[in-house]
């Protein structure tokens, strides 16, 4: 869990990402599968226009991107 002492929108963003990651850890198979030739799952971050793309297995969860939802889909794949 990330802890930030200062106030502002940045702190709210970090808290929203942190909450989304905690939710993913608790419910790794609950998010929908996003497929563009790869088996990523996607979880929408509540307050901000961001999506977390990840893959899960019995042993781990790998986050591949925290991507802005208003950009071209998949822009993060080759970067």
Mean pLDDT across 28-51 = 87
Of the two residues 39 and 23, the one the predictor is more confident about is 23
Nearest to 21 by CA among 49, 53, 67: 53
pLDDT at residue 41 is higher than 60: yes
Q: Which residue range forms the structural domain that includes residue 14?
A: 9-68
Is there a domain that residue 15 lies in?
A: yes
Residue 4 lies in a domain: no
Query: Is position 48 within any domain?
Result: yes
Domain count, the chain: 1
pLDDT at 75 over 80: yes
| Per-residue confidence (pLDDT) for residue 36, from 0 to 100 | 62
Q: Tell me, yes or no, whether 77 lies in a domain.
A: no
> pLDDT tens for residues 56-71?
888 999 999 999 999 8
Report which of 67, 79, 9, 1 is spatially closest to residue 34, judged by C-alpha positions: 67
pLDDT at 57: 87
What is the chain's alpha carbon radius of gyration, rounded to the nearest angstrom? 13
């Amino acid at each position: 869990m990330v802890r930030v002492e200062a106030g502002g929108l940045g702190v709210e963003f970090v808290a929203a990402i942190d909450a989304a990651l905690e939710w993913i850890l608790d419910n790794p198979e609950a998010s929908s599968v996003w497929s563009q030739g790869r088996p990523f799952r996607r979880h929408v971050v509540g307050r901000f226009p961001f999506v977390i793309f990840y893959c899960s297995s019995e042993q781990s969860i790998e986050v591949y991107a925290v991507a802005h939802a208003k950009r071209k889909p998949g822009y993060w794949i080759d970067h």
